[in-house]
Amino acid sequence: MDPRTLLACIDFRYITDVLTEEEAFEILQKGQVGKKEREEQMLVQGYPAYTTSCAWLGYSDDTLKQLCTEALKDGWTRFKVKVGADLQDDIRRCRLIRNTIGPEKTLMMDANQRWDVPEAVEWMSKLAEFKPLWIEEPTSPDDILGHAAISKALVPLGIGVATGEQCHNRVIFKQLLQAKALQFLQIDSCRLGSVNENLSVLLMAKKFEIPVCPHAGGVGLCELVQHLIIFDFISVSASLTNRMCEYVDHLHEHFKYPVIIEKASYMPPKDAGYSTEMKEDSVKKHQYPDGEVWKKLLAARGN
């Protein structure tokens, strides 16, 4: 779409105090410069991804080491580890992962809303030695000022705050940006409810020069968000600095047009549509209550 047509798809109500339609037009106009070259870059190189699949809570040390080693062999350079259940366990696991991937690789941490604000600052000060790029969802996703306080406290440690996967509209993102509550903005293609709402957030993030690093775990989220983040690079941000998209390696087999990952990057989809059509067989097997999967679960419960 040309910029004016694209802007007609966006609702600017409640956000004009930080981004007017004319400012958004200017962003998209600037995005026309070098657009063709960026399209070609994506087709050749893809959009950089990071893996969350190596370091879930509950994995044994051997599993952590094995998965990280295999990921390194496959070309992954960016890793995310789950933290927040037990500090000493986190220190041990983060040390193991950092020693396995080496000092030059990028490490992120995700607390999944585990902490109160003071606890988040204290906990992350103990994990700072492992040089995380960010701590994700350190506290309640609804606590904008809490995130701002954590963000301010972690600046001297060189740790950014990442959040957004639970944010359900453009106004929440507006306030997070206004409050300087995040250094990495994580849109979720489903939580925001539409392409249109996501577009407004991408444009606000560009206005504040905050990198967008989408949340993409779960069934179909990788498939959905690849379109948004590649669009962001080609037409809005025009930058890959501190930008990457999450990748989780399971459940893609249920989709007719699964994401294509090459050299730890999302390759642009070439099929029409939003990439989320599920295979009929998968839907049939998982349909409640008559699908094969549910029949087995219900039978097991009955026994």
Query: Which residue do the tokens 């699949």 mark?
Result: 53
Tokens matching residue 141: 């996703």
Cα-only R_g, the chain: 20
d(CA 67, CA 54): 5
Residues in the chain, overall count: 303
Give the whole-angstrom CA distance, residue 57 versus residue 219.
19
Whether the Cβ atoms of residue 150 and residue 139 lie closer than 8 Å to each other: yes
The set of catalytic residues is: 82, 215
CB of 302 closer than 8 Å to CB of 289: no
Task: Tell me the three state secondary structure of residue 247.
Answer: strand
- The residues, any chain, with a CB within 8 Å of residue 53's CB and separated by 6 or more, are 67, 71, 247, 248, 249, 250
Spell out the alpha helix ranges (H) of 183-279: 195-208, 221-231
Whole-angstrom distance, CA of residue 228 vs CA of residue 211: 13
